[in-house]
Amino acid sequence: MDNHLGDILIDLQNNQLSSKSFTQNSIVIPNNTIVTLGLENNLFTDLPEQVFRPLVDNGLKLRLDGNKFQCGCALKWIIESKHKDNIHGIYCANYQKDIQSMTENDFNC
């Protein structure tokens, strides 16, 4: 018997959301569910580890294209995460490259 509930897309693009729009436990992912959270074209400049890392580690997929990220030590957790492939679309304006192409050595922390 398959207990997989299916794939869910939560599309919150173009809503003027930022990292301050979310707190710990503001998103709960049901067991056996693959959730993609579309946050494209909002006001994100960072992605707080304490809010988003537990979600990403539990399989949440994030789409973040069109936000103006300023990459620094606060986003280094993404590079270190074994689930970093679940995070798409973080373009570091201050480095002029996608965070997926960066390494820990790119951050001076």
Spell 18-41 as b/e; 16+ CB within 10 A means b.
Answer: ebeebeeeebeeeeeeebbbbbbb
Two structure tokens written together for 53: 């890392």
Domain boundaries, the chain: 6-20+30-41+49-106
What is residue 50's three-state secondary structure? helix
Per-residue pLDDT reduced to its tens digit, 78-107? 999 999 999 999 999 899 999 999 998 988
pTM of the entire structure? 0.87
Per-residue pLDDT reduced to its tens digit, 19-54? 999 998 888 887 778 899 999 999 999 999 999 999
C-alpha span between 41 and 86 (Å, rounded): 18
